Every structure is written in structure tokens, then in C-alpha cells.
Amino acid sequence: MPYEYLESNILLNHKISEDIFEMKVELKNITEPGQFFMLRKNDSPTFLSRPLSVYYTDKKTVSFLYQIKGKGTQVFSLMNPGDKIDIMGPLGNSFNTDFCGKKTAVVSGGIGIAPMVYLAHELIKNGNSVDFYCGFKGMPYCTDILDKKIKVFISSQEGVAGYHGLITEIFNPTAYESVMTCGPVPMMKIIANMCQEKNILCQVSMEQHMACGMGACLVCTCETEHGMKRVCKDGPVFDGKELILND
């Protein structure tokens, strides 16, 4: 699918947790789970666009979940419904959800939950069973909107909800035929290693600072067994066996 580059209307942009926001924009699209868009406010004081993965889409709108991490996301958080935003996408590859009747696990850490919510619902739609493991530093978010068919496991490092500790401490891949993960690299490294030991397919969604977002500039590469690969174009989803994850 070719990407589109256009100006879109913001329909909704609200805070859902301490530094977590949801932005919904008007955009006809066909987006696969794991894909992302590059977004930029037209007169932004920051220079580059920011990649945001898709949290939900109904084909007429796209929703993004983002955490205020720096100036770019702060600019987003101050935008209002009715404002215009430059948007390019959908970009990148996607998770393979093409299983049927399989037992799958989705493992997220922090804001890495964003693409996994959309992914989990697509997995359910395709007839798979989904266990959703989501780790947070403090209070959880977005776990209440998950489909009732999805079994949810929560961890919090601060101990304010669910298991007190890291999500990797309560995850065991042996019960699953396929695992998908997105979050901090140290977490994904543990999950990918666990899966590799048990020879279970593990799809890993990488995050990286980007410039063009479409595969031309080569600044967002990650190390793989097959050389440096572009997170924006060859990824963001990679086979865990292929990635060389450095802490």
C-alpha cells in the first residue's frame, strides 16, 4: 500500500493518564496493525516529524496514543480538536496476524502498548485467542478498553496495580504458539530470548528516532543478523531471531 501525505483534521486530543495522550484524526485509511504515521504540526518549533503507531482505526479515522517524552510530543499535546496536522502514512510493515485459532500472547511495556491494542483486536478478529501482558512503571492505562475475550495481565514497577514488578517476571512463553512484543529494548530482549530458547515465533516492534519515515534517509536503522535494517521500512516489526538487541 502506498502512503499518503496530507493535512488532516484533529477530532480529539485528550489526556488519558498523567503524561499519556490520545489523538484522533480524520483520515480514510487502510492500516495494518504495527504500522505507523509521521505527524507534524505545520508551524512546529521542532523540526522533524514524529512517528506514532496506530492505536485504533475504523478506516475513516486513526487514533494514536503518545507519551510526552520531549518537545515534539509536547507540541502535539497542546493541539486542539479542529486544528490541522500534517500526516504521512501508513508506513512500515505490520505484524503477521494471519494465524487462525492459535494461542497468541501480546507483551507490551509502557507506551509500547499503543500498537498492541489494535493488534490484539485484529488477532481476536482473525479467530485467535489472545493473552495481553502489559507492564507499566506506575498506573496502568488503556487496559479497560480491551475486548472481553482478551485475558489481561498487568504489572506495575511501583506496585500500584497488578503484579508488583516487571512484566517479564510473570510472562512464560511456553503456553503460546506465537508472541508479539513492543516496549523498551531491555524488555523486548528478554521476551525475544525466552521465545528463541523455546523455539516460539516472536515478532518484535522496534522504535527509533526517524527523519524521512519512508526508507530513504537511513537514520533509523537497527542491527540484525542480515546487516543494518531500516526500522521505518524493513520494520518496525522484525523476527526476534533476526534482531541484535543492544541494551
Partner 1 sequence: MTETNICGIDFKNPVIAASGTFGFGREFSQAYDLSKLGGICTKGLTFNPRQGNKGIRCCETASGMINSVGLQNPGIQSFLDTDLAFMNSLNTVIIANLSGSSIQEYVQGAELLDSSKIDIIELNISCPNVKEGGMNFGIKTQSAVQVLEQVRKAVSKPLIVKLSPNAEDIVDMAVNCEKNGADGISLVNTFKAMAIDIYKKKPVFKNITAGLSGPCIKPIALRMVYEVSKAVKIPVLGMGGISCWQDAVEFIMAGACAVQVGTMNFIKPDICLDIVKGIETFMIKNNFKSISEMKSII
Contacts with partner 1, residue ranges (CB under 8 A): 2-3, 5, 40, 46-49, 72, 86, 88, 209-221, 223, 227-228, 233
Structure-block grid coordinates of residue 183 = 516496549
CB of 136 to partner 1, least distance (A): 21
Of 11 and 211, CB closest to partner 1: 211
CB of 164 to partner 1, least distance (A): 26
Cα 90 to Cα 34: distance, rounded to the nearest angstrom: 10
The continuous run of DSSP H or E covering 77 comes out as helix 71-77
Please classify residue 170 by burial: count the beta carbons closer than 10 Å to its beta carbon, then call 0-12 exposed, 13-18 middle and 19+ buried: middle
Please classify residue 166 by burial: count the beta carbons closer than 10 Å to its beta carbon, then call 0-12 exposed, 13-18 middle and 19+ buried: middle
Of 39 and 167, CB closest to partner 1: 39
CB of 84 to partner 1, least distance (A): 14
Of 6 and 12, CB closest to partner 1: 6
Of 179 and 220, CB closest to partner 1: 220
CB of 130 to partner 1, least distance (A): 33
CB of 222 to partner 1, least distance (A): 10
Of 50 and 121, CB closest to partner 1: 50
Cα 134 to Cα 112: distance, rounded to the nearest angstrom: 9
Question: Where do we find the cell 514524529?
Answer: 50
Angle at 114 between CA 109 and CA 120, to 5 degrees: 90
